[in-house]
Structure 1
Amino acid sequence: MSNSFDGLFSKVKNIFVPRVRDAQKSIEQYILEERIKQAFNDFVEKTAADADTESPEYASMKSEPTALMSTPQLATIHGRRIESHVIKTRDGYLLTLHRILSKHNQNDTKFSNETILLHHGLLGSSADWILLGPEKSLPYILSDAGYDVWMTNARGNYYSRGHKSKPVNSRSYWRFTFQEMGEYDLPAAIDYVRTLKNSTKKINYVGHSMGATALLVLLSTAPRYNQYLRIGILLAPLAFMSNIQGPLKILTSMSTDPPDQLLKAIGDTEFVPSRKIPKMMASKFCKGANIYCSNPLLFLTGSIPEQEPQDASFMARLLYHVPAGGSTDTIMHYGQLVKSGKFHRFGRVKSEFPLNQVKLPIAMFSSSTDWLATVPDVLRLYFSISNPIDHYVIRGQNLSHTEFVWGSEANVLVFPKLMDYLENGLNVNFVKANEV
């Protein structure tokens, strides 16, 4: 009877849980992945519905075929093979990793030579890295160079909205900042990749904005992870923030104990859950078209197009994928760093992260026109860690905070130097050329 039941169970499982080529997924894993897919679908459908009633511009953008596609769908359209992996952190959050499979390892993609982990920036997701399309996107450049590319999704974005016990609409779910991303999310991702590949080979890391912050938190609080990584490349890193410009600076005076009126405007759990900056606030602090000024990430970073972008398809993808969600506490934590001039724990100015524990070789990028990761602040970070490689400054190119990843010139101004660091950055005779 037992054997008969096992056989029946196996047949049912094969019907409802499809096989994948590399590994047999458990029912639990399959259910988790379906939940993530549904969360993304609900997220973009609600966004589209809300936008249609508020803005004719959004309604026209919805007709762009790739606007509402998820990261796996976009990658597939771009002709790439991609996997989704759901992992669980020590504090119970469910996160999604997206993996681009290298074309050079058709027979055995699990054991490609070099592994690289990409972590998106503030209010972002894995989609940020591939918005530029099949020719210019960094993950595809890396994959074509033979790297096994993994992309994270931080807790709270629409690919990582799950918890083993906390409902996503509860206050307790949203009580996190980049501190927890560094202490829980990144270790879970690194441990998972190392275990899956059954390899002790060191992982390369690229972090943009908040992705850089999370790495600094991890390496300073759990120094053993310095040994698990080969090199860190930080694009527009956020740590010291004394010199920032723009609306985030206005929030600093209220970041420790934000008033109810402010929280009503921006949300007290998820940051601007409507994905629209209130019109009065946008018009007061932002110059440009309302469709861009009302976007929370473009608003905070000053990444507002000075003229109407030529690529309407790209702008449709951008405005429907960004922001991807995040907590108000994260924004308030950054506000606290601006106010204190230190890199410290949430609400604890005297508890600074010990950056002298960051032993990993690290290269940094900054731009003279970045509102958030200013050149002086990144330079201060450069001299605060133990093993800096280089600080590469891009001047006079009008490169904003977000454009390190999806700027139209990122494949010219940023990615070639990034590849150079990956290949030569650890060489003793590496020649530094730190400005463009």
Structure 2
Amino acid sequence: MVMKNGYPVETHTVTTEDGYVLSIHRIPFSPKNDNKEEFRPAVFLQHGFLCSSFDWVVLGPGRALAYLLADKGYDVWIGNSRGNVYSSKHQTLTSKQKLFWNFSWHEMGVYDLPAVIDYVLASTSQKDLYYIGHSMGNTMFFVLTSLKPEYNKKIHLMVALAPVVFMSYVKSELTKLAVYSRTGEEADRIYNSPYFTPTKTWTEGVQLACRKGSVIQGLCSSLIFMIGGFNPQQLDPELLVLILSHYPAGSSTKAWVHYGQLMRTGKFQQYDHGETLNLKYYETPTPPQYNLSAVVAPVRLYNGKNDWLSSIEDTKELYSKLPNTAGMYQVKLEAFNHVDFQWAKDANTLVYNEVIGFIKNF
């Protein structure tokens, strides 16, 4: 799709310390700005839960953040977390094995992000980069920089779009089902499984049910709104089939369950295996909390007023616990929701222009 739009694109493979093989995509420059000798600051984009690198380009040139950044002279790198459709390989395991799925976003932060950040910096010969995350892409970042604080110095600025960290005020009833997940050795084994891995049947069904003119097209968009908040004016019906042909892109059940634990406790903490296993893994009956005071990289937070997953109350709590904030911006549109940060047809004028203007002057 990127090539069809006239932009150069590269696929790079990065292997994590624990053996997962990740595919990351790169738009090294824009056809509007193709002076290869010009210095281009590196920007890394990390998607949210069940998403992929696709979601940063789906809106197309002039609207999608990846293209806009390339047009402004940035070297754009786009991540894919373990378990999604682009990162479903391992050095010794296959995705058919339960052990492959024994991870949550904790492992994505501890293993995936260090591997790709180091790879990008080595490839570009730069000492730091701009990090832009959406939803889980922010959860991963705060795991990394709290547990491996040496990575703070590799971040010039972190832009958190709809950060999911504290989850006491989640409004999505569909998402809150994760609160009822269990803990314990048996539950751990059950949750070693894929979560919404894409299939040919799903893609073909979406293309039939959600196409323009379908009598149930409204149901397709309603499912999205039930997760992130209702805002039909910003979801382009022309793009709905394309979006849902790539979403969900797959992840692990444990990542979903881990979010349920945050909702249940109101804390930003490591995975709860149950008291017996917690004593084995952590030497404490309850999981340790992530130390956000260790996150000294500059962070700018972005929030939507109608975001059912990343509420303003939870975002403010995160803001209050970060030692080096670069401000908090709330999108002006009252109906702006969680998925609008990547899929809203006016995301460029509502959010992206502000983001690009801020990082340019930071």
- TM-score, shorter chain, exceeding 0.5: yes
Partner of 1:363: 300
Correspondence for 2:133 among 207, 210, 227: 207
- Secondary structure of 1:351 counterpart: coil
Distance 1:288 1:250, change over 3 A: farther
Q: Distance in 1 between matches of 2:269 and 2:51?
A: 22
TM-score by length of 1: 0.71
**Alignment check: 8 A CA contact 1:292 1:304 kept:** no
Render the CA deviation track for 1:34-86: whole Å, top value 9, x for unaligned: xxxxxxxxxxxxxxxxxxxxxxxxxxxxxxxxxxxxxxxx1011110000000
Distance 1:320 1:304, change over 3 A: farther
Q: Note the C-alpha offset of 1:414.
A: 0.6
Q: Note the C-alpha offset of 1:301.
A: 1.9
Partner of 2:164: 238
RMSD between aligned residues = 2.4
Q: Distance in 2 between matches of 1:258 and 1:288?
A: 42
Q: Distance in 2 between matches of 1:177 and 1:355?
A: 19
Partner of 1:88: 15
**Alignment check: 8 A CA contact 1:101 1:148 kept:** yes
**Alignment check: 8 A CA contact 1:206 1:234 kept:** yes
Correspondence for 1:346 among 271, 277, 283: 271
Are 1:119 and 2:119 counterparts?
Answer: no
Q: Note the C-alpha offset of 1:289.
A: 3.7
**Alignment check: 8 A CA contact 2:297 2:324 kept:** yes
Are 1:379 and 2:299 counterparts?
Answer: no
Q: Note the C-alpha offset of 1:419.
A: 1.2
Which amino acid in 1 is paired with 2:219? N
Q: Distance in 1 between matches of 2:132 and 2:260?
A: 24
Larger radius of gyration: 1
Which amino acid in 2 is paired with 1:128? D
**Alignment check: 8 A CA contact 1:130 1:137 kept:** yes
Which amino acid in 2 is paired with 1:161? S
Q: Distance in 1 between matches of 2:341 and 2:149?
A: 28
5 Å-filtered alignment, 1:21-420, equals 74-103=1-30, 104-108=33-37, 112-200=39-127, 202-246=128-172, 247-256=174-183, 269-273=193-197, 289-292=218-221, 298=224, 301-303=227-229, 306=232, 311-312=237-238, 314-347=239-272, 349-420=286-357
Which amino acid in 1 is paired with 2:227? T
Render the CA deviation track for 1:111-156: whole Å, top value 9, x for unaligned: 7331110001111100000110122011111111110000000001
Query: Identity over aligned residues, as a percent?
Result: 33
Distance 1:365 1:258, change over 3 A: farther
Q: Note the C-alpha offset of 1:159.
A: 0.6
Q: Which runs of 5+ in 2 are unaligned?
A: 203-215, 273-277, 279-285
Q: Distance in 2 between matches of 1:300 and 1:155?
A: 25
Distance 1:210 1:310, change over 3 A: closer
- Secondary structure of 1:352 counterpart: coil
Q: Distance in 2 between matches of 1:309 and 1:385?
A: 33
- Secondary structure of 2:3 counterpart: helix
Count of residues paired in the alignment: 330
**Alignment check: 8 A CA contact 1:156 1:174 kept:** yes
Which amino acid in 1 is paired with 2:68? I
Distance 1:106 1:405, change over 3 A: same
Q: Note the C-alpha offset of 1:272.
A: 3.0
